[in-house]
Structure 1
């Protein structure tokens, strides 16, 4: 039996020779150093030469050794991201936009979740750092102090997404969530609503939800419309939980004429439960959300909500880290504009509730 050399592997019982950088250089008619420059510093070779080397790589199926490239450049071209959960359409949308951008810059995305738990987030960050990430994207600014110390000691740049907090020393890219909460509530006040309830997202370790709720309650207080405690609920970002919360608020003669929901998914649950209880939206109940998911404009009635530019937020976060890693100027805090989208789910309150 013929032995398999160190440059060969066994696939389906057939010996195949692995392709190395020397083979790429030989077929492209250049030196191995030139191939290395084309891979690690593309701008150092001409466009024509890059094209020839790239075509050769595609033809013979060469895959660069990531560990070897990391040793030579001290970079893995890998960005980590830690989000609370993947069970959220906004996170999925943002991560898709981020990954698409990073791919254009030859970076890989590694993802972890923290379940809104700061200890879990710290553990996941340690795991990502041990795998050699070059930078890290984090959701919000509420975290374990040890995590910041870890990233600073390891000289790993990071950025907080979904928040805009220019007074803090940590990079942030996102919207002013308090202002967004104020804006959507002002819309209800302008329609004439004073009996306004809130079905907020769970507040624990969620500074975005906390800021939105603070903005909502500020406007209601300013207009002598502070809701009683029984009209303030916190639920998970799930339809079933939202429906149960709506049932508590709406299955009573003493109910609000409008509900501010922590996001669009919660608003969907509220509207579904209102329909089940025979409460018409918006004739008897106005409903607003946050995020402006795709389904929001297709519902009947369509949902009034705050449009969050999710794709831009995550792409800007990726740009910030790539610029930092490349030594280019990077804006530390970037505010992304939100907008109120008025649709069919809001109207003036019923006359008998004015």
Structure 2
């Protein structure tokens, strides 16, 4: 037999309140007293009431759905951020709709159009490299959006993140303070990636201030994969002269560099100091543990969700928010050898 459906009137009768109170709890939980909200939530769970999303959308002109477009799911940092975002949105009664762009602005614009056609209320985007068509679409549909992973207070678009250029400058400056004068970089692909571009700019600025430069043969761009990072390390160490320290575009790239250095019988940090960026969970468990820049990923994505929820509720919220990033010193960085190793590491590996 088909089970009897439970309606909003049944919930209201069970709690002893009006259907309007139930509706407010579902559509705007923060407008209801906490003790009443607890009672209503308990009644909904007990009775097995499932709100009609379509009916709610028609009455409120909202679907309580937030879209998020990230470059890829094959990145621990994005996975962690999305988990934090979904946890926050769920507590606010919102659904998360997720898509990927593969770092392609045109793909991102198409995915955004698909999300808008499905009635999203707000949108979270990674970085600030978007097509003009996407910006026009969001403006014409009056859909609030926020860029995560960047902090651009001079722009009219909402942003939440750290200052990538300043953070990379600090990472490189630390290596210079240790005494390194031969510093390279294995960066992420900079095309359509303003975060990667800013980090490269920060490293170059720190080197320039120290009277140094980033030699062309010591600068390599790779995708966010261990195999590609290891290949980048091979290229870096293939010359007769190589750096004593390297700044990596993120922790995953740093893992690949460390693995390749160790595979060749060399030592981190004795033969090469390695600096990461992001401070993923594995970074403190590696041996050697990874020196890196800590980025509060959970906070970034939670604040992005908070911005949209408050904006949609008509509540005041800051357009830009800068999160604090910090240098974390661990085992993968040290002062350079007084007598630098001169033998080509590839030859050493083959001998």
* Coarse TM-score class (shorter-chain normalised): over 0.9
Matches of 1:100 and 1:192, distance apart in 2 = 44
Q: Does 1:109 align with 2:96?
A: yes
Name the counterpart of 1:285: 272
Name the counterpart of 1:237: 224
Which aligned runs of 4 or more in structure 1 are off by greater than 6 angstroms?
A: none
Describe the shift of the 1:258–1:34 C-alpha distance in structure 2 as closer, same or farther (beyond 3 A).
Answer: closer
Describe the shift of the 1:286–1:45 C-alpha distance in structure 2 as closer, same or farther (beyond 3 A).
Answer: closer
Describe the shift of the 1:102–1:34 C-alpha distance in structure 2 as closer, same or farther (beyond 3 A).
Answer: closer
CA offset at residue 192 of structure 1? Answer: 1.0
Name the counterpart of 2:347: none
**Secondary structure in structure 2 of the residue aligned to 1:340:** strand
CA offset at residue 16 of structure 1? Answer: 2.6
CA RMSD of aligned residues (A): 1.8
Name the counterpart of 2:164: 177
In the TM superposition, what whole-angstrom CA distance separates every residue of 1:248-297 from its partner, at most 9, and x where no partner exists? 11134311111111101100100000011111111111000100111111
Matches of 2:209 and 2:25, distance apart in 1 = 62
Structure 1 residues 16-35: aligned runs within 5 Å? 16-35=3-22
Matches of 1:340 and 1:27, distance apart in 2 = 55
**Secondary structure in structure 1 of the residue aligned to 2:2:** strand
Matches of 1:95 and 1:270, distance apart in 2 = 27
Aligned length: 341
Describe the shift of the 1:241–1:30 C-alpha distance in structure 2 as closer, same or farther (beyond 3 A).
Answer: same
Query: Please, which moves more after superposition, 292-301 or 247-256?
Result: 247-256
> Which of residues 183, 188, 197 is equivalent to 1:201?
188
> Which of residues 136, 140, 152 is equivalent to 2:139?
152
Q: Does 1:319 align with 2:327?
A: no
Matches of 2:297 and 2:206, distance apart in 1 = 25
- What runs of 5+ residues in structure 2 fail to find an aligned partner? 342-351
Name the counterpart of 1:222: 209
**Secondary structure in structure 2 of the residue aligned to 1:259:** strand
Name the counterpart of 1:132: 119
In the TM superposition, what whole-angstrom CA distance separates every residue of 1:21-42 from its partner, at most 9, and x where no partner exists? 2333444455544433443345
CA offset at residue 43 of structure 1? Answer: 6.1
CA offset at residue 228 of structure 1? Answer: 2.0
> Which of residues 73, 76, 82 is equivalent to 1:89?
76
Matches of 2:29 and 2:241, distance apart in 1 = 68
What TM-score, normalized to structure 2?
Answer: 0.92
CA contact (8 A) 1:251 1:277 kept: no
